[in-house]
Amino acid sequence: MQLVRKASVELDEELRRWCDVLSAKARFLDEIVGGGGKAEFYVSLFTEALGGFELDHSLLKRIFELSLGVSVEIYPPVVG
């Protein structure tokens, strides 16, 4: 599995790509979460200015169906 590091990507496209990859492991993810564990997409956003993102309902549904959560860390620009 290749991870994205320091690359500009569209968040929704990247999450969809990973949903495609992880869909083959849906049963395993269900077992983790069903057993009290946690599985999530961990997203780090490094920004240069105020901004935002949107995840549409079809993507959120796919994430939900895989028993995944989404955790987002936002890093503002360093001043000074």
pLDDT per residue as tens digits for the range 25-71: 999 999 999 999 999 999 888 888 888 889 999 999 999 999 999 99
Would you state the pLDDT for residue 55? 94
Give the model's confidence band at 8: pLDDT under 50 very low, under 70 low, under 90 confident, else very high: confident
Evaluate if residue 9 carries a pLDDT over 60: yes
Q: Which single residue is written with the structure tokens 């999530």?
A: 40
Spatial CA neighbour of 16 closest among 63, 72, 66: 63
Q: Is residue 6 part of a domain?
A: no
* Tally of domains within the chain: 1
Residue 3 domain-assigned (yes or no): no
Higher pLDDT, 8 or 63: 63
Which amino acid belongs to residue 41?
F
The torsion angle over the Cα atoms of residues 69, 38, 13 and 9, rounded to 10 degrees, is 110
Does residue 27 lie within any of the structural domains?
yes
* Domain assignment of residue 2, yes or no: no
Q: Is the pLDDT of residue 2 over 70?
A: no
Residue at 25 is within a domain: yes
What residues make up the domain containing 70?
11-75
